[in-house]
Structure 1
Amino acid sequence: MAAKTYNVGVIGYGLSAKVFHIPLIQVTTAFTLHSIVQRTPKPSDDAAKDHPSAIIYHSADALFADTAVDIIAITTTPDTHFAFTKAALEAGKHVIVEKPFVPTSAEASTLIALSKSTGNLICVYQNRRWDSDFLTVRKLINEGALGRVIEFNTHFDRYRPERPTTWKGKLTMAQAGGVVYDLGTHLLDQAYVLFGLPQTVTAVFANQRGDGADEPDSITVILGYGAAGPSVVAKAGVMAVETEQLRYWVRGTVGSYRKLNLDVQEDQLKAGMKPGDRGFGVEKDQAAGVLTVLKEEKPEKSVCRNVEPETYAALYAGFAKAIAGDGEDAVPVKASEARDVLRIIEAAKESAKLGKTIDL
């Protein structure tokens, strides 16, 4: 008997839909791209021309009412995520929603309760859990190659002197806009995956551009895990003038790992590649990290290439299995996990505002 396939409807037709969601839907054998909501098509930007086999709706309500749709992918700005996720669950659909999940942990809790009452699943698109360098870090830590982790430094620095004109630069933090919800969500989610909820959060928000804007453009967040736990530092800056940006610097009791450069999947997706294409997710050898370990009580370094890519397609494939019968425990990025990350973000905002460390 042929395996069941599920119809996916996508809300939004911007960069997120075109680059991060539709290509992954197309390579997930259990999913079919059924429909797209594009409110205002243009001659040079028309979902109907790009995807002639998909039904094109001009309102989200029309998609919610389509009984043929099993799953809704929400790729719109984060200030719309709560209302769209709630409506999708109430319409009997499973949901995959872009990060940041919703603006507040309280809204996340509301949606988690609704998911349980309706029986429809939520998956949050924290794709950078499947960055190959992060999977490499995770493997090194889990195998004990570094010993007990003392310091975990994770960076997402860039040279971007102009403030973005997208939601990332237009929405306020109250609307889940800005750097702490954009890049900070990725950095803090990866730390959460490795070490769980921290005991304390200390944050400094800054305006490195010096453009007088009210909203910060750069963050430093320190997560505390007790006296014996790691000190986690997550940084995102916009005025980093470097030929190669630092990504990870992890130090443990018997070794350290240092990695420059960003995972290649985003650039490859923007260039039209998809998971399964030759070379997808594979970075150049010269971009490999450096592993330093003690040999006869002396530090010795070696090239540490990334593990074989699982790729962002693993997130969609995992959600397909969860929907097909494996259930909530199999959801790759659970809404409850995204809520925990929102709690860290909320503590960071409070810390930066008050100038003090916040206990979780």
Structure 2
Amino acid sequence: MIRTGLIGYGLGGSAFHAPLIDAVPELELAAIVTSRADAVGERYPGVQAVPDVAALLVDPDIALVVISTPNDTHFPLAGAALEAGKHVVIDKPFANTVAEAEALIALAEVKGRVLSVFHNRRWDGDFLTLRNLVDQGSFGEITLYEARWDRFRPALRDSWHENAGPGGGILIDLGPHLIDQALALFGPPERVTADITAQRKGSLVDDYFELTLHYGRMRALLSSASIVPAPRPRFAVHGTKASFVKHGLDPQEAQLRAGARADDPYHGVEEPAQYGVLVSSDGSKQTVPSERGDYRRFYSGVAQAIYEQVPPPVAPADALACLRIIELSRQSAAEGRSLPF
């Protein structure tokens, strides 16, 4: 088993990384850097609560370090872990800038360590379902792809996510998920057009974006907004043969936040009422059962990359491409024009 240390036990660490690592047989959750020692002891009695990062990094038995901390700490913590000879997983975003991401990739290559990014939404059940439909040619030629992640959060929160600075805002928070899914389906776009703004009164960061990725005559629209009482479809894909419309989010996050185990047989199984609908060009409709989502596949892939020296489940180059699009999107929105990728 690969002894694993987790840095951070907030929402990301407690609801995602710790239970997923604990549920993957090849990994051992050995230590967590947190001030919440009581919470760790209650949930994971055999796991050591470590007071600071330095104590974790000097432990020779820790082979893999997972970073789930505020965005502006990802780069320095990942750099320190790689310098200490650890394999590293970083929660999204990979870093706050392209330059930081490139530096981490170069350092991982010099150190010969596995570096990957937790783009877990590749293993959402609805996305797996959509990817199967694309691979089967169900849409014919795809002309329009829409992926939206809406929330109703009109009130500002006292959170680092909403602090002004390079790590705050919804584009750097949810954008990596939506962009990574689009790149996984279609590859790099030709051009990017973006509209990014703050819609909530007093907001110091962006809380709305709509990105258009240009692929020939096909368009991929990626959007998130914070004042949407009735969320738009999570996915809407249209082509010459059919359309697919899917509402609702993959259930894994809600299940994990409620304390469910990731190895429960019903984990990641979506309710039939949330299934998407495939509408053929002749008007006929077909309900498409969602694939079972499974974020454990990410961590199983990380273990395989360490053991067998195969590529990690999310290549650093993929996460770097996401950051390039985010930076290009900000420039596009500021200048009011489309920009080549």
Q: TM-score, normalised by structure 1?
A: 0.92
Matched, 1:162 2:152: no
Distance in 2, matches of 1:310 and 1:283, equals 8
Q: Find the residue that maps to 2:213 and give its secondary structure.
A: strand
Matched, 1:291 2:278: yes
Distance in 1, matches of 2:22 and 2:205, equals 37
Cα shift readout 1:282-301 (whole Å, capped 9, x = no counterpart): 1111111110113xxx2211
Q: Find the residue that maps to 1:7 and give its secondary structure.
A: strand
Could you say which residue in structure 2 is the equivalent of 1:138? 131
Could you say which residue in structure 2 is the equivalent of 1:224? 214
Could you say which residue in structure 2 is the equivalent of 1:260? 247
Matched, 1:198 2:194: no
Distance in 1, matches of 2:160 and 2:184, equals 26
Structure 1 residues 310, 284: CA separation in 2 closer, same or farther (over 3 Å shift)? closer
Shift of 1:207: 2.0
Distance in 1, matches of 2:58 and 2:84, equals 7
Could you say which residue in structure 1 is the equivalent of 2:328? 347
Shift of 1:49: 4.2
Q: How many residues align?
A: 341
Could you say which residue in structure 2 is the equivalent of 1:315? 298
Matched, 1:83 2:81: no
Could you say which residue in structure 2 is the equivalent of 1:107? 100
Could you say which residue in structure 2 is the equivalent of 1:153? 146
Matched residue type, 2:228: A
Conservation of the 8 A alpha-carbon contact between 2:250 and 2:293: no
Shift of 1:54: 1.8
Shift of 1:212: 3.2
Could you say which residue in structure 1 is the equivalent of 2:340? 359
Distance in 1, matches of 2:159 and 2:298, equals 25
Structure 1 residues 144, 100: CA separation in 2 closer, same or farther (over 3 Å shift)? same
Shift of 1:245: 4.0
Runs of 4+ more than 4 Å apart = none
Could you say which residue in structure 1 is the equivalent of 2:8? 12
Conservation of the 8 A alpha-carbon contact between 1:158 and 1:245: no
Shift of 1:226: 2.1
Matched residue type, 2:212: I
Shift of 1:78: 1.1
Distance in 2, matches of 1:324 and 1:163, equals 44
Structure 1 residues 171, 273: CA separation in 2 closer, same or farther (over 3 Å shift)? farther
1:338 aligns with one of 302, 319, 335: 319
Matched residue type, 1:284: E
1:64 aligns with one of 33, 38, 57: 57
Structure 1 residues 262, 49: CA separation in 2 closer, same or farther (over 3 Å shift)? closer
Q: TM-score, normalised by structure 2?
A: 0.97
2:170 aligns with one of 169, 172, 179: 179
Shift of 1:171: 4.6
Shift of 1:183: 1.0
Q: Find the residue that maps to 1:222 and give its secondary structure.
A: strand
Cα shift readout 1:145-196 (whole Å, capped 9, x = no counterpart): 0111100000001111112322221252x2x221001111111111111111
Distance in 2, matches of 1:78 and 1:213, equals 18
Conservation of the 8 A alpha-carbon contact between 2:192 and 2:338: yes
Conservation of the 8 A alpha-carbon contact between 2:66 and 2:88: yes
- Which ranges of structure 1 fall in alignment gaps of 5 or more residues? none
Q: Find the residue that maps to 1:201 and give its secondary structure.
A: strand
Structure 1 residues 159, 170: CA separation in 2 closer, same or farther (over 3 Å shift)? same
Shift of 1:51: 2.8
Distance in 2, matches of 1:21 and 1:214, equals 29
Matched residue type, 1:288: Y
Could you say which residue in structure 2 is the equivalent of 1:239? 227
Shift of 1:274: 2.1
Could you say which residue in structure 1 is the equivalent of 2:20? 24
Q: How does 1:33-72 map to 2 (within 5 A)?
A: 33-38=29-34, 40-41=35-36, 46-72=39-65
Q: Percent identity?
A: 38
- Which ranges of structure 2 fall in alignment gaps of 5 or more residues? none
Conservation of the 8 A alpha-carbon contact between 2:164 and 2:205: no
Shift of 1:208: 2.2
Distance in 2, matches of 1:56 and 1:212, equals 38
Shift of 1:321: 0.7
